[in-house]
Structure 1
């Protein structure tokens, strides 16, 4: 798929296996080329989901925020975050992402056991998946055209190559790679409560959630903080922002009626929307519309 902002190939697809889909929202792929007309430093809006980002070992990454800066090379964790990151995409790059559902990492036996928030960490992919080897009858190695003993060492390069050619085949391979891991997941009353709360319609306010889920608001708040590392209010605000930016990315500036947007997304008036965006991403609606520098605007939603 050819798209805007220097993207040569990009796609997004949900897992095929139902157990993997319980913990993974989607797989995504971006292959960029150098584009003098594109934005070299796109922004990431806050996200309650964690991403495991698979890249060539030599490929550099750079994330900047007002209070945080990290650089490295190769595959890495982008843990849930409640701030805006600016990335360096000035050079061509290939990224294959695994986007986990909100709260999923709490159940997936990561070390440390506490939920990570606002942190990017380099990851040894082979070492990570060595903890959860495929079943003996897995055909993953055959599909990657390597021996089972050496598939972990070779799988990353092979997966990235498959990702450029066939998104469905890549999703099937990722399912096989992840299935032994997600099979060890342990859900408890806190993760189940968070999953049910997230599934509620967005118009349900916090004060009504406990009643619908047959628990106290205090219990719900404590479970959210434990499972996601964020408060329920933070999670709601971040998800609203994501839905808003996704909606705006599909419209040209001259098609946007900010008063209608404010009403559609539950703001009392346009000034309330202006304050919300300024606080959430550092831009007023006018500034956002002028710059359009977020990933969703630059690379699209791969649809």
Structure 2
């Protein structure tokens, strides 16, 4: 048995809570993962995991072993990195998760500059607007907007996203131009946006001086994807607040019109978020620094 490999397998099973997810994240057959755990338990003469058809839980012995093993593996990786040129030439597979519109309009157009700078890096770019669990989903870092909900994670602020309230000309022709946010509740429709399995709606915020109005209804269509949200607004389903970076080309060509320009939606902070390892790996540090440079170059991503 490769003891270090078996320890890595055990840690991934605990982190993901599943033999199947651990196998997928490690690129191993599920049978291999099962055999590694069985061999490790036999070597230690201790039961580390309780397994049922529905879930995997950690025994008291397993919890104690996990705590020390995870720390030992981090130290082992640090030692290897310090004995190579990894800091100067980061290499390996980097797993990133980014929101749909940031991926399409910011990251992908510039990603070649990152790959040219670090030719030994391989990037797995997950694109979604769902909340990602960095440990169970085996993701190295994410780029997300808003307030950091999980205070156990580390976040580096790299910019902010400005918003603009818009609608399609066809919608305005049919329903008229609102003069106040309260008009939307009385005579208009919103295009909603929701997030998470609880389908929590994001409010539309309207700020003017000291006056603040939050609206989550009325809407006829609500989506959970940034590109679908833009398509719904372009399709005339209602008024909504879109990322200005994304909406500007459509405002310039007349496919969208600005609504209530004197009422502003506050920008949201953008962060690169990663797990709180004692030593940030060279590949994650390289991407975090590159993303910060990328956002700093674009005034649209630095608006306050």
TM-score normalized by the length of structure 1? 0.27
Compare the two structures and name the one with the higher strand fraction: 2
TM-score normalized by the length of structure 2? 0.27
